[in-house]
Structure 1
Amino acid sequence: MSANRYIRQTTLKGFGAAGQARLQSSSVLIVGAGGLGVPVLQYLNAMGVGTIGIVENDKIELSNLQRQPIYSEQDIGKPKIKVAIEKLQAQNPTTIFHCHAEFLSTQNALEILKPYDVIVDATDNFPTRYLINDACVILNKPFVYGALHAFEGQVSVFNYQLGPTYRCLFPQMPGKNEMPDCNVNGVLGIIPGIIGNFQALEVIKILTGIAEPLSGKLLLYDGLTQKIQQVSFKTNPENKLRTQLEERYEHISCDLSASVGVEEFEKMLHNPKQFQLVDVRSPEEFSDFHLEDSINIPLQELPNRTDEVDLNREVVLICQSGIRSEKALNYLNQQFECTIYQLEGGLQNYTHYGDNH
């Protein structure tokens, strides 16, 4: 049965049984089981990669379903990693899966990445991307990069043999105000599937040697025009010399006193009348999940709805990751003199805290 499963690959000239054997003996880590991670997982699993690790600690939401088709409405509220592995095992029971139900951090990155041959960046934020890059440089591992924005996507391969790293292309992490946010700007559901499949192909090329990976080349895909371009870039030797991770990769707020940690926030929730909780996510996100007694004022609507903010009480702003709530905090502080805080790390940090306490 195993021979028949991969017969369309083993009979392929230039791939053959040797290519299949290389896949079977290989291990790949996918960081993120969302829009990009799902197609990468499904195809690497179907094609016979022997060992697959997944790093993911989010739960399935209704808004995920338009671009993460491995999940269904019956899965809403369940851990992504658990559901993904169950369905992938049904697709191919011969694959060995390793479950890393946690967020990647400076404390665990080197340990998690070390056993794998190739790392796939299927994340949606810059801090984790720079963390993955630096860990891969230290461990001397290639990683396959993918990124999304609206109708467009990017793909490249970093740290492959003597090729450039992510920092050779993007030396510095952009500032918070420069970061695109798919929760606000959106992404067409099929684009992650296209870019994720490009990433999966690069993984196959690295593992089997059937062609040159996109090392030193950035592929730019425009879904509306179906145009593909490639931009070449060179190695900065200094970026290959890294021996340790940064102390932290998250942006540090210029006003730490305006941030509320999850433990303090948990205590505040016992006295909800003492403060107003303002959720600045989109109406769709708020509808999928929100905290009791919170009101929804999307960030882009805030300038026209400041009258709904109760300036006579303390105000706590929340969003998914803390990026939008900090923007809202900065805006309100410019307009009013009042006591305003934002939840550090957003709802994803709060729910992660709740899962572990």
Structure 2
Amino acid sequence: IIKDYDVILDASDNVATRYLLNDSCVLLKKPLVSGSALRFEGQLTVYNYKGGPCYRCLFPCPPPPHCVTNCSEGGVVGVVPGVIGSLQALEAMKIITDIGDPMISKLLLFDGFSGTFRHIKLRERNPECSICGDDPTIKELIDYEQFCGSKPNDKERQKELLTENQRISCADYKALLDEGVPHLLLDVREPVEYDICHLPHSHNIPLSQLQKSKDILSLLNTPLSDDNKRGTGCIICLLS
């Protein structure tokens, strides 16, 4: 993908992808406009352009996985990526048209709390860099998940999936409605999502509440039959 473009913009949110993009750009001799955002802060710089450093020049080794704050934990104010993304687009235009002073060997810091910008000088290109140095040791893409010790996302969660006989499709549920089978439909999304859109006759009890209850039936305070032959059951509806 990268070989077909003149300028690459990095808007990723994980270390593995940043190393992958950096190495790809160095090997293909493409400038990399790098942006990042966390909470109320953002950063911007340009790597691998006109003799400037690459990402590995500054960070030859990835941080330990347990030291990296991901978006799920840290969060980000939606406006901040918009600010940084607009500045990335501006840097790309300057590089393409060869005008202005791109952010080479310097880092722009944006503070959303104070609404201020400042610059700091970065180290110059490292002649001993493992990929852009005078005698590089990395000459092709590597396994970045193994290199960083983490996958290129922050969705590392243990999933408890239902078995096939515990699931119900939209078509099966429609048939259940048409047949008039008595049932209880739970929508376990949060109230703000439920209020946007929900199925008729559904009852909203967030999963966060259900998980705290050892007895779902007592929480619902709704009598349900244990006799499966009568067709009474409980359907949990997970919608996104």
TM over 0.5, shorter chain: yes
SS in 2 for 1:213: coil
Distance 1:244 1:200, change over 3 A: same
Counterpart of 1:10 in structure 2 is none
Aligned with 2:4: secondary structure? coil
> Structure 1 unaligned runs (5+)?
1-111, 254-258, 274-281, 289-294, 309-357
Q: Tell me, yes or no, if structure 1 residue 159 matches structure 2 residue 48.
A: yes
* Residue of structure 2 aligned with 1:244, choices 124, 127, 140: 140
8 Å contact kept, 2:64–2:149: no
Counterpart of 1:12 in structure 2 is none
Asked if structure 1 preserves the Cα contact closer than 8 Å seen for 2:80 and 2:112, the reply is yes
The answer to whether the aligner puts 1:127 opposite 2:16 as a matched pair is yes
Name the aligned partner's letter for residue 139 of structure 2. T
Shift of residue 207, structure 1, vs aligned partner: 0.6
The 5 Å alignment of 1:99-248 reads: 112-233=1-122, 234-239=124-129, 240=132, 241=136, 242-248=138-144
User: CA offset at residue 175 of structure 1?
Assistant: 2.1
TM-score (norm 2): 0.60
Rounded to whole Å, the distance in 2 between the matches of 1:175 and 1:285 is 36
SS in 1 for 2:62: coil
Partner amino acid for 1:238?
E
Residues 163 and 284 from structure 1, CA distance in 2 versus in 1: closer, same or farther, beyond 3 angstroms?
Answer: farther
What residue in structure 1 maps to residue 219 of structure 2? none
* Residues 4-32 of structure 1: CA deviation (Å, up to 9, x unaligned): xxxxxxxxxxxxxxxxxxxxxxxxxxxxx
Instruction: Quote the RMSD (CA, aligned, Å).
Output: 3.5
Higher mean alpha-carbon deviation, 224-233 vs 146-155, is at: 224-233
Determine what percentage of the aligned residue pairs are the same residue: 40
Greater per-residue helix proportion? 1
Q: CA deviation at 1:198?
A: 0.9
Q: Note if contact 1:130-1:249 (Cα within 8 Å) is conserved in structure 2.
A: no
Q: Relative contact order, CA 8 A, sep 6+: which one is greater? A: 2
1:270 aligns with 2:153: no
Structure 1 CA distance for aligned equivalents of residues 192 and 22 of structure 2: 30
State the alpha-carbon separation in 2 of the partners of residues 226 and 218 from structure 1. Answer: 17
Aligned partner of residue 237 in structure 1, secondary structure:
coil
Q: Report the alpha carbon displacement of residue 271 of structure 1 after superposing the two structures with TM.
A: 6.1
Q: Secondary structure at the match of 2:93?
A: helix
Q: Secondary structure at the match of 2:36?
A: strand
Q: Quick one: distance in 2 between partners of 1:217 and 1:194?
A: 18
Aligned-partner Cα distance in 1 for 2:17–2:63: 13
**Correspondences of 1:305-324 after superposition (within 5 Å):** none
Q: Give 1:192 shift.
A: 1.0
SS of the aligned residue for 1:206 comes to helix
Distance 1:227 1:194 in 2: 12
Kindly state the Cα deviation for residue 269 of structure 1 after the two structures are TM-superposed.
3.4
Cα distance, 1:187 vs. partner?
1.4
Q: How many residues align?
A: 169
* 1: CA distance, partners of 2:49 / 2:35: 15
